[in-house]
Structure 1
């Protein structure tokens, strides 16, 4: 069992992501307002996974971002939060998990959290089949991510 190497080193060890690393939350662009770090000094960087791997996986449903913060890696999908979008987001999640195993083994060793950040209002009903599917997947649906 190998030790975790930290977010920045894990990104550097991932050929498809190494050139996409950005300081702070820069990789999120205008979506950085959706992430609220308690202490910006604990932010270890970010990467736009979707853009970085698009040439290699052009037809796949790709996950959006990864952020390193305080020793954890937060995988973030920013997407409209309607009931009809649960299946597409879960498809992206399956792609992400496969990608981590096949292409990003060091990043896969990091302490991980998975979040779907609603790009607008959340319109997934409490107690619905879709909400239960999401809960079982391990993805947390939030309006913004408070770190």
Structure 2
């Protein structure tokens, strides 16, 4: 559930204040293209826009494990990665999330400020095949 809005930038303003992705803002879920069907919102009128982070930052960080999308909902930023969900993908997803967190802190501080409480979502692009034993980190 999103937090109550205070005096902060809107999602679109935060995107426009982020040089790396300022040109990538799209109305609604347009930036997700065919992947827009993976987003199920309680109220579609509360979707503030979206950005394809991966495509927009590809030329800036061509070798990086870039995150896919950000979506604004009730003026909070959510981050969505549509990716295969197999045991072999876990480390890749960890690297993508680390890249995103570093990028937010260094290059997108205005977007970082409006990040939702639970902002990161890995949406499987097919069936899920992750072994339970692969999730026992540090045990």
Q: TM-score range by the shorter chain?
A: 0.7 to 0.9
Unaligned 5+ segments in structure 2 are 1-6
Deviation at residue 36 of structure 1 after TM alignment: 1.1
The answer to whether the Cα contact below 8 Å between 2:69 and 2:79 also exists between their aligned partners in 1 is yes
The answer to whether the Cα contact below 8 Å between 1:4 and 1:106 also exists between their aligned partners in 2 is no
The answer to whether the Cα contact below 8 Å between 2:80 and 2:123 also exists between their aligned partners in 1 is yes
Q: How does 1:1-147 map to 2 (within 5 A)?
A: 4-112=8-116, 113-126=119-132, 128-130=133-135, 132-133=136-137
What is the rounded CA distance, in whole Å, between the counterparts of 2:57 and 2:115 in structure 1?
22
Deviation at residue 86 of structure 1 after TM alignment: 0.5
What is the rounded CA distance, in whole Å, between the counterparts of 2:13 and 2:105 in structure 1?
17
**TM-score w.r.t. length of structure 1:** 0.83
> What's the Cα RMSD here?
1.2
Where do 4+ consecutive residues of structure 1 move more than 2 Å?
none
The answer to whether the Cα contact below 8 Å between 1:71 and 1:111 also exists between their aligned partners in 2 is no
**TM-score w.r.t. length of structure 2:** 0.88
What is the rounded CA distance, in whole Å, between the counterparts of 1:73 and 1:80 in structure 2?
23
